[in-house]
Amino acid sequence: MSPPLRPLAALLLTLAACDKPKDGPAPSPSATASASASAATSAPASASASATASAKPPAAEPTAVAAQHVLVAYAGAKDAPKGVKRTKAEAKARAEEVASKAKSGGDFTELVKSYSDDPAAKERMGSVGKFTRDKMVKPFSDAAFALEVDATSGVVETPFGFHVIKRNQ
């Protein structure tokens, strides 16, 4: 520092030391430094925590899924086979039985054979193939797309009856 600036620097330091805020004493330089350091270290820590959380972005919803289903129809449901005479309440109870057996490890294909009222599904072992969200009625698609691969849904009601869905892909 040049000689003429030394007295000016000393004066500024003296004035800074004497300048006290009206609300109370000024924090010590070490407190200010540690608060700044703490803020500086917490910002990267929270940034790294959110970076870690965002390092594994949520899985993007697939454009198509493959699934199997059991359809339990009732008299009056859309496209219900003529032989189906059960009430809506009976159909729901039957579908809940299927869901319970599926979730406790029952063979889904066997459940299709035993419970499904969809003759075409029985021929395909319950498979509805791979489909996009817009190819099925909304409640069915919403349930199928919400499932993890190999997971089984609870009872899903559509105009066709009650479904239990297993996502395969």
């407190």: which residue's tokens? 31
* Topology classification of domain 65-167: Chitinase A; domain 3 (3.10.50)
Tokens standing for 111?
Answer: 């459940």
- When pLDDT is cut at 50, 70 and 90, the band that residue 115 belongs to is very high
Tokens standing for 101?
Answer: 């057996």
> How large is the average pLDDT for residues 150-167?
97
CA distances 107 to 70, 102, 111, 125, 143, Å, are 12, 7, 6, 11, 20
Range of lowest pLDDT (10-19, 20-29, 83-92, 114-123): 10-19
Percent helix, strand and coil across the chain, each rounded to 5?
Answer: 50, 15, 35
Quick one: angle between helices 108-115 and 88-103, nearest 10? 160
Instruction: Look at residue 147 in the predicted model and tell me its pLDDT.
Output: 96
- When pLDDT is cut at 50, 70 and 90, the band that residue 119 belongs to is confident
Model pTM score: 0.65
Sequence-separated (6 or more) residues with CB below 8 Å from residue 141: 131, 133, 134, 135
Task: Tell me what percent of the residues of the chain surpass a pLDDT of 70.
Answer: 65
Segments making up each domain of the chain, as ranges: 65-167
- When pLDDT is cut at 50, 70 and 90, the band that residue 120 belongs to is confident
Question: For residues 119 and 95, what is the distance between their CA atoms, to the nearest angstrom?
Answer: 16
Instruction: Look at residue 14 in the predicted model and tell me its pLDDT.
Output: 43
Q: Please say whether the beta carbons of 112 and 121 come within 8 A.
A: yes
Q: What angle do CA 56, 68, 96 make, to 5 degrees?
A: 95
Instruction: Look at residue 45 in the predicted model and tell me its pLDDT.
Output: 42
For 153, what's the count of Cα atoms within 13 Å in the CB-facing half-sphere? 25
